[in-house]
């Protein structure tokens, strides 16, 4: 068996150029395949991490995204009195009424305008979002025109850096801090005092209410209580679930795009692999005849050629995956069509994607090699020997 394996391997080495080109073709396909999956996964994990377990969002009934929602001040106060909401040491509810506004900012470099999400935060907003961490400067003082920008926004938009000034809502705002929210959607937001934002944009209602529940289990009771109250007309969602749903359409779109592109590419690569394997068989018919004459059964010949194709596919898969893993260094920013704001996220490689990509590569090799291998094993010995 070891000699058979080394025979297959050495045949690949002997035809180095063909091997490299064929494996290269397959590597490209695996690269596209893995990249599409990594992108979808990156988007998914970004938006899933945006939520904190135990947190619940209260939005206007039927709202699919934050910007659609409106929560009246009085309604928000009513909800805050519910017993499922956790309390601070001083007895006040762990809840924050927030307002979300979309504004247009120019990008650094190109000057192109793009949507950025403003979030007016309450006193408790930060405590409710432990993943948000100040990396430079300080938090804005409530009652002032100070704002903090997420790292993603600070980096990509003009005037959003520390100490810089932004103009929106007919006012000038000073960026006094930069925060890092890890791989979450908050990284692409600008935060400031909720009341200041409401004044500037002439809003008299909040967008949403964020609450920390007593425990994760009390979500059901909280939801039933809020949704059953005829005065409220609100929906309750677990924060993590809400943000995951925000990514669903995008992730699905990326996945479908990636998989269909890959499907088209892989047909080409598979034909390439088949041509290579066919050529390998045609060039070695004499060898096959010799091996068969020496008494090697058809099975062994089949095994040797299938092994060769598998090695080829595995090589292509590994190279493609390696190239794709380099994509993790890049950050993509795109419009999230569900929130109409810019969202920055990275390519994320998971063990599942590694396995899937390698399996895809070897599968491609196997499919490409099987038919030629079957043909190789079926040649009559006498005919094969004539080809020497």
Q: Is 263 exposed, middle or buried (0-12, 13-18, 19+ CB in 10 A)?
A: exposed
Decide whether 182 or 283 has the Cβ nearer to another protein.
283
Q: Give, in order, the Cα–Cα distances in Å from 219 to each of 34, 53, 56, 215, 228.
A: 37, 11, 7, 8, 14
Q: For residue 246, give both structure tokens.
A: 């925000």
Dihedrals phi, psi of 56, to nearest 5 degrees = -130, 145
Pick the closer one to another protein by CB: 3 or 228.
3
Nearer to another protein, 11 or 22 (CB): 11
Nearest to 147 by CA among 123, 128, 126, 166: 166
Sequence-distant (6+) residues with CB within 8 A of 29 are 262, 265, 266, 268, 269, 316, 320, 360, 364
Nearer to another protein, 106 or 385 (CB): 385
CB 78 within 8 A of CB 232: yes
Q: How far is the CB of 306 from another protein (least distance, A)?
A: 17
CB of 272 to another protein, least distance (A): 22
Give the C-alpha separation, 29 to 32, whole Å. 5
| Smallest separation, CB 24 to another protein (Å) | 22
Task: Quote the least distance from Cβ 339 to another protein, whole Å.
Answer: 59
Residue 306 belongs to what H/E stretch? Answer: helix 298-325
Q: Looking at beta carbons only, is 172 or 383 nearer to another protein?
A: 383
Positions in the binding site for another protein (CB under 8 A): 2-4, 7, 10-11, 13-14, 286-287, 289-297, 381-382, 385, 388
Smallest distance from the beta carbon of 10 to another protein, in angstroms?
A: 4
């Amino acid at each position: 068996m070891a000699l058979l394996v080394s025979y297959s391997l050495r045949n690949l080495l002997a035809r180095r150029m063909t091997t490299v080109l064929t494996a290269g073709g397959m590597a490209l396909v695996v690269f596209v395949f893995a990249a599409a999956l990594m992108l979808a996964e990156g988007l998914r994990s970004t938006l899933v991490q945006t939520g904190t377990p135990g947190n619940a969002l209260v939005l206007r009934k039927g709202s699919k995204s934050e910007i659609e929602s409106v929560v009246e001040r009085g309604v928000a106060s009513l909800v805050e009195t519910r017993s499922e909401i956790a309390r601070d040491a001083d007895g006040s509810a762990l809840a924050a009424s927030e307002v979300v506004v979309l504004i247009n900012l120019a990008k650094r470099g190109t000057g192109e305008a793009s949507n950025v999400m403003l979030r007016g935060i309450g006193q408790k907003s930060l405590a409710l979002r432990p993943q948000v961490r100040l990396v430079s400067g300080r938090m804005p003082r409530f009652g002032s025109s100070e704002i903090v920008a997420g790292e993603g926004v600070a980096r990509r938009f003009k005037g959003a850096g520390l100490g810089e000034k932004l103009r929106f809502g007919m006012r000038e705002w000073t960026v006094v801090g930069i925060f890092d929210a890890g791989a979450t959607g908050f990284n692409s937001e600008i935060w400031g005092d909720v009341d200041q934002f409401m004044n500037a944009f002439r809003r008299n209602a909040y967008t949403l209410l964020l609450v920390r529940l007593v425990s994760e289990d009390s979500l059901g009771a909280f939801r039933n209580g809020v949704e059953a109250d005829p005065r409220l007309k609100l929906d309750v969602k677990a924060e993590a679930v809400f943000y995951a749903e925000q990514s669903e359409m995008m992730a699905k779109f990326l996945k479908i795009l990636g998989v269909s592109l890959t499907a088209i590419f892989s047909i080409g690569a598979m034909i390439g692999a088949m041509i290579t394997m066919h050529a390998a068989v045609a060039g070695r018919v004499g060898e096959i005849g010799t091996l068969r004459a020496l008494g090697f059964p058809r099975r062994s010949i089949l095994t040797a050629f299938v092994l060769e194709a598998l090695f080829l596919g595995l090589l292509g898969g590994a190279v493609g995956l390696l190239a794709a893993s380099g994509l993790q260094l890049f950050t993509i920013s795109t419009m999230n069509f569900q929130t109409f704001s810019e969202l920055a996220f990275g390519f994320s490689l998971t063990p599942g994607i590694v396995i899937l990509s390698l399996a895809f590569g070897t599968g491609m090799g196997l499919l490409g090699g099987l038919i030629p291998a079957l043909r190789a094993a079926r040649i009559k010995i006498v005919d094969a020997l004539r080809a020497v």
